[in-house]
Amino acid sequence: MPPFAWSWTGVAIALGLACVLIQLVMNWAQKTVSPVRATLIYASEPIWGGLVGRPAGDRIPSAAVFGAALIVLAPWYRSSDQGFEEVTRRVERQISACYHRGIT
């Protein structure tokens, strides 16, 4: 086991605080946008991973790019198919019904 080092302890604490901050910001943001829009934002995560990973030297196989494209495009296709507002209303009705039945 390596010897104790305050520098690594500081790094671990900073990473923990960063994770807490990210979670707080995500929770706040989810309260201010509709559930469908939040899903679309989260579905774009592979795009950001690719944009950051590629310049950092990550080599992404074409099958992975195709899979990421399907993951990203599926929610957009579904929401545009029926209209964004209609999908939002339907999801909000389902969430409300689950809330009133005591399902959380």
Domain coordinates in residue numbering, the chain: 1-32, 33-104
Question: How distant, in Å, are the alpha carbons of 4, 8, 21, 36 from that of 15?
Answer: 18, 10, 10, 30
Distance (Å, whole) CA 22 – CA 32: 16
Question: Are the C-beta atoms of 92 and 34 separated by less than 8 Å?
Answer: yes
Q: Return the half-sphere exposure (C-beta side, CA atoms, 13 A cut-off) of residue 86.
A: 6
pLDDT digits (tens, 9 = 90+) for 55-84: 888 887 888 878 877 877 777 776 665 666
Give the pLDDT of residue 17. Answer: 97
Select the highest-mean-pLDDT range: 18-27, 35-44, 59-68, 92-101.
18-27
pLDDT digits (tens, 9 = 90+) for 32-54: 887 777 777 777 777 788 888 88
Strands (E), 1-104: none
DSSP 33: S
